[in-house]
């Protein structure tokens, strides 16, 4: 998959099947849409191209009031890649982009910029300044410029509700990982590079992998049972804190910290993916480090019970995590889903 910041240059502008949107979370509605684009592209011998925006248009129009992100760009790109996308154009959403007329949008972006031969849009798609362009006007433009337009039928959950990024976001804010999982079709996950932390965790008996994350305000926060990919060949069980760590830090910086059960080693610099399996509690500001340590010990005990119930061995007691190298067998990993 190739990623372009802004419209591709002339050599990279081969004809394509195109869809456009924010794709925050790449949920099951997006996945169905991308599968349809893939099929249409294959039938025509075209690559699949997605145009998406950075920042999110709502962040541009209302920086303070925009909802928190489900996924930052790295995770969005990975999800698009997993869904068969060949090219992603990450368009900088700014005033110039937002104020194009619908006709200018079609000519500059769809026709000359991306050479789209086939375009899929959702049922709520609007384009151009003041959201003036819609399905009917895009179809008319397609007839004029020589591209086909198809509209995606709504993908709903079993209760009939439309699967949406807003719905996933609401589930994450509520800490309802089961609801997020069913709309996403996979566990909610965040990836990042492991960096050096305060090194306080090892003194507390719970060393952590620290991942600075680009989310200024993540939709999800609290303490979680997690599974971590990217350290070894198998995913590793752990507990994680996603938030501000009010007991030890007043920087206001959001951090994802993971204590792996029964693992120690050097993971600095590695790119890891943390899958959130179950929320244990909200983050708290404790009066001292002893109370914090006792709370983390309880979190770890809960995580061990959780993994034991799934048949994933995680070793023994936790005052001082040792060097046991236990983890998920492939079958146990499957059972976690």
Residues of the shown chain interacting with ligand FMN in the complex, contacts defined by CB under 6 A? 197-201, 204, 206, 208, 210, 223, 239, 241, 245-248, 257, 259, 283-286, 292, 295-296, 299
Asked if 17 contacts 36 with a C-beta cutoff of 8 angstroms, the reply is no
155 binds ligand ATP (CB under 6 A): yes
Strands (E), the chain: 2-5, 16-20, 48-54, 87-92, 116-121, 148-151, 189-193, 209-212, 222-229, 236-243, 255-260, 271-281
> What whole-number distance in Å separates Cα of residue 313 and Cα of residue 329?
9
Among 123, 203, 250, 305, binds ligand ATP (CB under 6 A): 123
Select from ligand ATP, ligand FMN, none the partner in contact with residue 283, using the beta carbon and a kind-dependent cut-off of 5 to 8 Å.
ligand FMN
Select from ligand ATP, ligand FMN, none the partner in contact with residue 76, using the beta carbon and a kind-dependent cut-off of 5 to 8 Å.
none
119 binds ligand ATP (CB under 6 A): no
Number of Cβ within a 10 Å radius of residue 203: 11
**CB 58, min distance to ligand FMN, A:** 30
Q: Which of 155, 238, 251 is nearest to 201 (CA)?
A: 238
- For the chain, the residue count is 337
Q: How many positions of this chain bind ligand ATP (CB under 6 A)?
A: 20
Q: Which residues, 6+ apart, have CB-to-CB distance to 251 below 8 Å?
A: none
Asked if 52 contacts 72 with a C-beta cutoff of 8 angstroms, the reply is no
Of 41 and 261, CB closest to ligand FMN: 261
Q: Which of 219, 134, 124 is nearest to 163 (CA)?
A: 124
**CB 309, min distance to ligand FMN, A:** 19
Q: How many CA atoms lie within 13 A of 76 on its CB side?
A: 26
Of 148 and 284, CB closest to ligand ATP: 148
Of 228 and 292, CB closest to ligand FMN: 292
Of 86 and 262, CB closest to ligand FMN: 262
Among 17, 72, 105, 165, binds ligand ATP (CB under 6 A): 165
Mark residues 18-57: x for contact with ligand ATP by CB under 6 A, - for none: ---xxxx----xx--x------------------------
180 binds ligand ATP (CB under 6 A): no
210 binds ligand ATP (CB under 6 A): no
> Residue 41: which H helix or E strand, with range?
helix 28-44
Determine the interface stretch with ligand ATP among 152-160, 237-245, 252-260, 310-318 (rule: CB under 6 A). 152-160
Select from ligand FMN, ligand ATP, none the partner in contact with residue 335, using the beta carbon and a kind-dependent cut-off of 5 to 8 Å.
none
Of 180 and 292, CB closest to ligand FMN: 292
Q: Which residues, 6+ apart, have CB-to-CB distance to 118 below 8 Å?
A: 17, 18, 40, 41, 44, 46, 147, 148, 149, 150
Select from ligand FMN, ligand ATP, none the partner in contact with residue 292, using the beta carbon and a kind-dependent cut-off of 5 to 8 Å.
ligand FMN
Determine the interface stretch with ligand ATP among 1-9, 123-131, 224-232, 245-253 (rule: CB under 6 A). 123-131
Q: Which of 330, 232, 333, 326 is nearest to 273 (CA)?
A: 232
Among 16, 109, 121, 242, binds ligand ATP (CB under 6 A): 121
> What whole-number distance in Å separates Cα of residue 306 and Cα of residue 237?
10
Residue 141: C-alpha distances to residues 201, 220, 233, 252 (Å): 59, 41, 50, 48
> Where do contacts with ligand ATP occur on this chain (CB under 6 A)?
21-24, 29-30, 33, 121-125, 152, 154-155, 162-166
């Amino acid at each position: 998959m190739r990623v372009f910041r802004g419209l591709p240059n002339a050599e990279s502008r081969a004809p394509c099947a195109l869809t456009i949107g924010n794709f925050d979370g790449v949920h099951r509605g997006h996945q169905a849409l991308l599968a349809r684009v893939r099929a249409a592209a294959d039938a025509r011998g075209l690559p699949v191209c997605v145009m998406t925006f950075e920042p999110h248009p709502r962040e541009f129009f209302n920086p303070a009031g925009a909802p928190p992100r489900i996924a930052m760009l790295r995770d969005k790109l990975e999800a698009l890649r997993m869904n068969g996308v060949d090219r992603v154009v990450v368009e900088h959403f700014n005033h110039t982009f937002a104020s194009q007329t619908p006709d200018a949008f079609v000519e500059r972006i769809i026709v000359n910029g991306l050479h789209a031969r086939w375009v899929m849009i959702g049922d709520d798609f609007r384009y151009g300044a003041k959201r003036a362009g819609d399905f009917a006007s895009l179809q008319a433009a397609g007839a004029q410029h020589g591209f086909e337009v198809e509209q995606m039928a709504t993908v709903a959950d079993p209760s009939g509700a439309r699967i949406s990024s807003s719905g996933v976001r609401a589930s994450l804010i509520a800490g309802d990982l089961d609801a997020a999982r069913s709309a996403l079709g996979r566990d909610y996950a965040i990836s990042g590079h492991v960096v050096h932390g305060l090194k306080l965790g090892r003194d507390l008996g719970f060393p952590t992998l620290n991942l600075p994350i680009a989310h200024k305000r993540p939709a999800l926060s609290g303490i979680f049972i997690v599974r971590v990919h990217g350290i070894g060949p198998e995913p590793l069980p752990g507990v994680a804190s996603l938030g501000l760590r009010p007991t030890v830090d007043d920087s206001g910086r959001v951090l994802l910290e993971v204590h792996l059960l029964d693992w120690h080693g050097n993971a600095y610099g590695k790119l890891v993916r943390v899958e959130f399996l179950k929320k244990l509690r909200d983050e708290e500001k404790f009066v001292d480090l002893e109370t914090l340590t006792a709370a983390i010990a309880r979190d770890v005990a809960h995580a061990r019970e959780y993994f034991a119930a799934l048949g994933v061995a995680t070793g023994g007691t936790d005052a001082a995590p040792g060097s046991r190298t236990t983890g998920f067998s492939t079958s146990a990993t499957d059972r976690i889903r």
